[in-house]
């Protein structure tokens, strides 16, 4: 009997990276152009107005307040793209996962391989965003660099859950509409992204509490400019995101294995 290569998810990662190289220019442009555009338009543009009328938010200029939220959002969106598209492709469009599963690789390795590739993209997104933020001079705290691991954590958390979600999609018809309208939009606007979470009515505030974007944003503000929150809340943010990774990955692996064994 032939031996089966250990850590097969590494082989899936390798294939995913080969595939991603085909889109390298787009990914790279997106990683830099996106933060540049957002920070210029909303931060510097809208920010000037806000600063002039109210002297900023949370004791800092608007751009300083906004940038950590945009960083977290970019991490989340990038990880989502890099988990949803390969997963729908693998199960529905090209059915490449079935080809992988005809080799010694199983659902677990395939799910993890796709996930590792999304993390690679995630690191690239977060680091480039951070560099742009640095150029805009919005990093105020001495330990601001910790926003990099925090951003990666946010992307990793959301990516894990979206991997599990996409792994269960049998029919893409309403999938993108659903994700856009019921997950991305409310999360983007109601996670304390553009204004503090406690400035929205209580009956909407729960959306922020269950939103990885809010946890990551609040954490990012704490790290980049010293946003004043109790240390216990810092830990809640971290634990919430870690829990999303653990639950998401377990559900994803189960979904992939079950689906391939049909």
Partner 1 sequence: MSEELIVARGLTKKFGDFTAVDGIDFSVYRGESFGLLGPNGAGKSTTMRIIGATSQRTSGDITILGKDPEKFGPQIRAHLGVIPQKDNLDEQLTVTENLYIYGRYFGLSPKFIKGKVDELLEFAQLEEKRDAKVESLSGGMKRRLTIARALVSEPDILMLDEPTTGLDPQARHILWDRLFRLKEKGVTLVITTHFMDEAEQLCERLIVIDRGKIMAEGSPTDLIKRYSSKEVLEVRFGSEKNEEIAEKLKDKCERLEVLPDRILLYAEDAEQSLEEIMKSGMHPKTSLVRRSSLEDVFLRLTGRTLVE
Residues that bind partner 1 (CB under 8 A): 1-5, 8, 11-12, 14-15, 18-19, 22, 94-106, 260-262
**Distance of alpha carbon 170 from alpha carbon 92, whole angstroms:** 8
- CB 48, min distance to partner 1, A: 43
Smaller CB separation from partner 1, 11 or 124: 11
- CB 156, min distance to partner 1, A: 25
User: Residue 74 in contact with residue 126, Cβ under 8 Å?
Assistant: yes
- CB 109, min distance to partner 1, A: 9
Q: Provide the token pair at 189.
A: 């606007």
Smaller CB separation from partner 1, 93 or 178: 93
Smaller CB separation from partner 1, 10 or 174: 10
Residue (of 57, 77, 60, 67) closest to 35 by Cα position: 67
- CB 6, min distance to partner 1, A: 8
How far, rounded to the nearest angstrom, does the alpha carbon of residue 74 sit from its chain's CA centroid? Answer: 6
Residue (of 165, 163, 76, 162) closest to 126 by Cα position: 76
**Distance of alpha carbon 212 from alpha carbon 192, whole angstroms:** 11
- CB 97, min distance to partner 1, A: 8
CA distances, 55 to each of 35, 44, 65, 199 (Å): 24, 14, 12, 17
Smaller CB separation from partner 1, 105 or 157: 105
Smaller CB separation from partner 1, 18 or 250: 18
Q: How far apart are the first and last CA of the chain?
A: 25
- CB 2, min distance to partner 1, A: 4
DSSP 8: T
Smaller CB separation from partner 1, 1 or 202: 1
């Amino acid at each position: 009997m032939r031996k089966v290569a250990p850590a097969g998810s590494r082989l899936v990662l390798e294939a995913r990276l080969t595939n991603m190289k085909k889109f390298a220019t787009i990914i790279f442009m997106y990683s830099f152009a996106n933060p540049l555009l957002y920070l210029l338009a909303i931060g510097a543009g809208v920010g000037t107005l806000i600063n002039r009328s109210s002297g900023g938010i949370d004791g800092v200029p608007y751009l300083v307040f906004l940038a950590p939220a945009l960083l977290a959002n970019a991490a989340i969106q990038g990880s989502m793209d890099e988990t949803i598209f390969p997963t729908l492709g693998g199960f529905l469009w090209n059915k490449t996962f079935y080809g992988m599963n005809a080799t010694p690789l199983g659902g677990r390795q395939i799910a993890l391989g796709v996930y590792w590739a999304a993390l690679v993209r995630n690191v690239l997104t977060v680091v480039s965003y951070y560099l742009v933020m640095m150029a805009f001079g919005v990093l105020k705290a001495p330990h601001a660099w910790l926003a990099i691991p925090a951003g990666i954590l946010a992307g990793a958390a959301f990516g894990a859950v979206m991997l599990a979600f996409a792994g269960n999609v049998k029919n893409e018809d309403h999938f993108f509409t659903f994700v856009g309208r019921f997950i991305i939009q409310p999360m983007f606007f109601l996670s304390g992204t553009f204004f503090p979470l406690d400035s929205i009515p209580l009956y909407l505030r729960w959306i922020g509490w269950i939103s990885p974007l809010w946890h990551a944003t609040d954490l990012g503000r704490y790290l980049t400019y010293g946003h004043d929150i109790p240390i216990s809340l810092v830990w809640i943010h971290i634990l919430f995101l870690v829990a999303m990774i653990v639950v998401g990955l377990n559900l994803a692996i189960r979904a992939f294995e079950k689906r391939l064994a049909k």
